[in-house]
Structure 1
Amino acid sequence: MKRLLTKWGKGFGIYLALMVVFPFVMPDEYYRSVGIIIGLHAIVTIGLCLVMGLAGQISLGQAAFWGIGAYTSAVLTTKYGLSPLVGLVASAIIPGLFAFILGRAIAGLQGYYLAMATLAFGYIVQIGITEWEPVTGGASGMISIPQVPLFGGSELSMYYLIWAIVTCVLLFSLNLMHSRVGRAFRAIHKSEIAATSMGVDVRKFKLNAFVVSGMFAGISGGLYAHYMGILDPQPFGLHESIKFLTMVVIGGMTSIWGALIGTVLIGFISEGLILLSEVIPGLQGDVDTIVFGGILVLIVMFMPEGLVPRIRSAYEKAQAKKAKELAAKTQSGERVERKAAT
């Protein structure tokens, strides 16, 4: 962890400063709520990055785990009177169990077949939430979901709670990425056959990534339920899964920081489209789906590695060029000195 913080010290410091300052730079409650939603999405996308970027799996059902976590905590607190803190713990465990069962069932699938299996799971969960009316409230949803009883339950305290969890998830994921487990994930991503020949249990590591990703999404869902106070099945479908996928791809599938930055970018683009639709009525409806789909296509075509890896690569090339020029200048100066000496 110490080595990790040393490596990412400057970037992590900038991240913390922006996170702390944002509510005061944008004191309007609307922008605080935008920051909260972006934080909730970031927890999901960091988990999705572990699945896609490290373990090399395609998941189109991440919103399903988000929904399972949300409804788990909402049902336990509204129907059984349990504390929201207990509900949040359950919102991590139950989606993790679903992810374990699904991961075991689809362990042998790859590529399009894996994508279709997770897509089908997403549809099943959304239909199940809608039809299980006695428990979930069906299409009408649930109301009066209690707030998390920490720091007074204000908008500002919820913002810092959620971003504190984002920070924990970020540190865990960065540490995992640079550990022995992370190296095994990257080996699987490059070649499952090569990883197997080196003694890596491919199915075990894929399943672990899937479970961790499901738990992250579930925690985010539980927090979403308690923040919103109401729930309905609509936000937990394919549209949201595609949005999560776009966030990861635009930032860079192999970069944890990329998942976070992609989430922030798409979050503000989404809010910008909402504000623009108030000025241009023709933009109302599912225009955001078209925009996100277009962004996804353009990124895959022209920047498949994603934004953060591309910027990092350009920076490393610039540093290498600078070092080469400096070495050439130093060598030239040494030659001049030798000539002068003789």
Structure 2
Amino acid sequence: MESKYRNFSKKTIPYALLVLFAPFILTDDYYHSVMVVAGMHAIVVLGLCLVMGLAGQISLGQAAFWGIGAYTSAVLTTKYGIPPIAGLVAAAIIPGLFAFVLARAIAGLQGYYLAMATLAFGYIVQIGIGEWESVTGGANGIIGIPPIGFFGESELGMYYLVWGIVTILLIFSLNLVHSRVGRAYRAIHKSEIAATSMGINVRQFKLSAFVVGGMFAGISGGLYAHYMGILDPQPFGLHESILFITMVVIGGMTNVWGALIGTIIIEVIREVLIALSHVIPELKGDIDTIVYGAILILIMMFMPEGLVPRIRAVYAKSKASKAGDVQPKPERGEVA
């Protein structure tokens, strides 16, 4: 147990230093904005890692929970005058309730059927946001969403707020992985039948995984709404859900750190594509969707465990070979 937490601190200290000093390395406000959005995406992806990588439940509708959280906080603050912080709390609770209802409705589904059910849920939410004009503003959206006002409403203040929340949820996720709940999730991921035979309430734990993932996405959505100041239904569809899944897969679904690193990698690729589009006009439009899809296919074909678990396995193998030891086969269900 002691070595586990020593390793935990070895990983978190470089991460904390990087988060703390990154804005002073990339000083332009544009890069601060990119890092803020990357942090919001990281929150969603951490939740999706717990749902898919830890509990083994496929979700193609995570952008729907993101949208519910965004519109919850936006509506409460613009129409009812609720403070943004209270709106952010509601943005966590309401998507969590939606996730609870959805998880109860689809608790018996697995595999492709589960994927199709969550995909349908995502479409329903996006269409509902677009059609409920009296509340959401429909296609026109909502404008005038108040900023949270952290450290004077600056890009730097928002950066530290978002990445502070990322850090809190990262620590929560890492502790969850090594808890009794995390062990139950991994058992369900490997075999629901075996987990049931061990006395694990599969339905209850699957439901809790969806709720946690939905709440993470809702928190991110609330931050997104107050950061952007305006909302419309377009960002909360299948495109964003695929983006989140790509981030999880590229870093490693079964690894919490992998989810974070996968998010950063995709954000860097996104910025590279934007820069290239100014030079090559043909790259404008939906080229990013094609690139993300290609990355997803290549990762699943050649590196299904993801980038971080593969690097760890290669490092462990080289270290063992130098020591003259035989490297044991790594567990596919590792979630550190």
Q: Same fold (TM over 0.5)?
A: yes
Counterpart AA for 1:201: N
Going from structure 1 to structure 2, the CA distance change for 1:295 and 1:188 (only over 3 Å counts) comes to same
Going from structure 1 to structure 2, the CA distance change for 1:80 and 1:4 (only over 3 Å counts) comes to farther
Matched, 1:300 2:281: no
- List per-residue Cα deviations over 1:259-280 (Å, max 9, x = no partner): 0000000011011111111111
Mapped partners of 2:210, 2:295: distance in 1:
26
- Which TM-score applies when normalising by structure 2? 0.95
Query: How many angstroms does 1:53 deviate by?
Result: 0.5
Partner of 1:227: 227
What pairs with 1:1-342 in structure 2 (closer than 5 Å)? 4-324=4-324
Partner of 1:340: none
Mapped partners of 1:169, 1:312: distance in 2:
23
* Number of residue pairs the alignment of both structures matches: 326
Mapped partners of 1:280, 1:2: distance in 2:
53
Going from structure 1 to structure 2, the CA distance change for 1:111 and 1:139 (only over 3 Å counts) comes to same
Counterpart AA for 1:192: E
Mapped partners of 1:258, 1:38: distance in 2:
14
Counterpart AA for 1:261: I
Mapped partners of 2:297, 2:14: distance in 1:
30
Mapped partners of 2:236, 2:198: distance in 1:
39
Mapped partners of 1:71, 1:101: distance in 2:
18
Mapped partners of 1:230, 1:56: distance in 2:
35
Mapped partners of 2:271, 2:61: distance in 1:
23
Mapped partners of 2:205, 2:153: distance in 1:
38
Query: How many angstroms does 1:70 deviate by?
Result: 0.2
Counterpart AA for 2:153: G
Query: How many angstroms does 1:258 deviate by?
Result: 0.4
Q: Which moved more, 1:146-155 or 1:198-207?
A: 146-155
Tell which structure's C-alpha radius of gyration is larger. 1
Counterpart AA for 1:92: A
Query: How many angstroms does 1:12 deviate by?
Result: 1.0
Mapped partners of 1:178, 1:12: distance in 2:
16
Mapped partners of 1:6, 1:198: distance in 2:
31
Structure 1 alignment gaps of length 5 or more: 326-342
| Coordinate RMSD, CA, aligned | 1.3
Mapped partners of 2:245, 2:283: distance in 1:
23
Counterpart AA for 2:121: F
Mapped partners of 1:288, 1:275: distance in 2:
12
- List per-residue Cα deviations over 1:164-208 (Å, max 9, x = no partner): 000000000000001111111111111111111111111111110
Mapped partners of 1:11, 1:89: distance in 2:
29
Counterpart AA for 1:292: Y
Query: How many angstroms does 1:21 deviate by?
Result: 1.2
Query: How many angstroms does 1:4 deviate by?
Result: 5.0
Mapped partners of 1:2, 1:217: distance in 2:
32
Query: How many angstroms does 1:323 deviate by?
Result: 2.1
Mapped partners of 1:36, 1:208: distance in 2:
28
CA contact (8 A) 1:247 1:259 kept: yes
Q: Which moved more, 1:290-299 or 1:315-324?
A: 315-324
CA contact (8 A) 1:4 1:175 kept: no
Query: How many angstroms does 1:17 deviate by?
Result: 1.2
- List per-residue Cα deviations over 1:51-80 (Å, max 9, x = no partner): 001110100000000000000000000000
Query: How many angstroms does 1:324 deviate by?
Result: 1.9
Counterpart AA for 2:20: V
Query: How many angstroms does 1:3 deviate by?
Result: 6.1
Mapped partners of 1:56, 1:93: distance in 2:
23
Query: How many angstroms does 1:149 deviate by?
Result: 2.6
Mapped partners of 2:284, 2:2: distance in 1:
48
Look up the SS of the partner of 2:258 in the other structure. Answer: helix
Structure 2 alignment gaps of length 5 or more: 326-336
Look up the SS of the partner of 2:324 in the other structure. Answer: helix
- Which 4+ runs in 1 deviate beyond 6 A? none
Query: How many angstroms does 1:5 deviate by?
Result: 3.9
